[in-house]
Amino acid sequence: MLTKLTIPMPDDWHLHLRSGEMLNKVLPYSSQHFARAIVMPNLPSPVVTTNDAKKYRQEILNNLPEGHDFTPLMTLYMTENTDPEDVHLGFLKDDITAVKLYPAGATTNSDAGVKDLEKIYPVLEVMEQIGMPFLVHGEVVDVDVDIFDREAVFIETKLIPIRQRFPKLKIVFEHLTTKEGVDYVLSCNDNTAATITPHHLVINRNAMLVGGIKPHYYCLPVAKRELHRLALIKAATSGDKRFFLGTDSAPHLTTAKESSCGCAGIFNVANAISVITQVFDNEKALDQLEKFLSINGALFYGKTVNSQHMNLVRSDHALTIPKNIKTSKGVVTAFDPLIDVYWQVV
């Protein structure tokens, strides 16, 4: 049995760091386990301009623990008023790496998102020309569409038309949750890729709904049926270069999760690497692990693979769940993957 692994330092291609005290508390978990991360822009006051992104990046760097080598890669929150020239210059100056689409009302702090996709076509035209990735939260928000069908309907009604209109645009289908999503990415060329989260690899919707409502497994997009989870595992462990890690780690105070209108989001970054490695081990696919964690995303984003390395060791006993994070306003509950996890970063 393989008990030790060394892989290039992983990257996180979808991460929520928040701001203020929450940023200060959660950042060390990311900067310890990842060399780079695509930082989501959906703060209460969204990151909508390059100047906003530069300020947010500085806030992150100001909170970086001493000795941690971590590069935040900044994104802009797409609105119907996003300035194509600002996007162009920000990308050329390496101040921003990508632009993120949130359909209005799709998830946390998405009210300022896009309602009419045609209004962002001028921005997409520029992004296609300069090779800038377009990150999509792939769900429709129509009230007549069941929440478990939002991703599949988005593909048919939104994503396929965008791809037809902009065939060379680099698109990342974020936090994939369905077999339909996997099949769509596999049908595309190398300009389309997808991130997959640790939690969608280990839970299906039963984790949230069976035996009582369990709000710490509520995320958006929501976990789906078991057949979709199995499709995600097959994609992640295949080694296909179009699939790579995006933790979508999204911290909320426990009181905000355990309420009559609980927040969507799972704080998983404290044990993300361990959980994913265990999934690959269970699938007898550890030889594909570094592609998913360390190589595929870097290549898609046009970055070099990290030269530093991470060591993992398989323990002879299951690891305990990471401790909850304490803040002045309450705690943040760490992700319980509901499986035995033996691999740990050393």
Ramachandran area for residue 248 (φ above 0: left; ψ -120 to 50: alpha; else beta)? left
CA-CA distances (angstroms) from residue 184 to 48, 111, 130?
A: 29, 27, 24
The first and second tokens of residue 164, run together, are 């037809």
Q: Is residue 250 a contact partner of residue 108, using CB atoms and an 8 Å limit? A: yes
Beta strand segments in the chain, E: 4-8, 11-15, 36-39, 71-77, 98-101, 134-136, 171-173, 192-196, 243-245, 309-314, 325-327, 330-332, 343-345
- CA atoms of 205 and 230, how far apart (whole Å): 13
Q: Rg (Cα) of the chain, in Å, rounded?
A: 19
How many other CB atoms are there within 10 angstroms of residue 80's CB atom? Answer: 15
SS3 readout for 102-123: CECCCCCCCCCCECCHHHHHHH
Q: Is residue 175 a contact partner of residue 200, using CB atoms and an 8 Å limit? A: yes
- CA atoms of 7 and 316, how far apart (whole Å): 21
Given the residues 11, 52, 86, 248, the one annotated as active site = 248
Is the N-terminal amide bond of 46 cis, ω within 30° of 0? no
Tell me, yes or no, if 248 is annotated catalytic. Answer: yes
H or E stretch including 134? strand 134-136
Place of tokens 């299951």: 318
Q: What letter would DSSP give residue 148? A: G
Q: Is residue 237 a contact partner of residue 290, using CB atoms and an 8 Å limit? A: no
DSSP codes, 258-323: SSTTPPP-BB-TTTHHHHHHHHHHHTT-GGGHHIIIIIHHHHHTT-PPPSSEEEEEE-SSPPPPPP
Query: Rounded to the nearest 5°, which phi and psi values hold at 118?
Result: -65, -25
Q: Which residues are catalytic?
A: 248
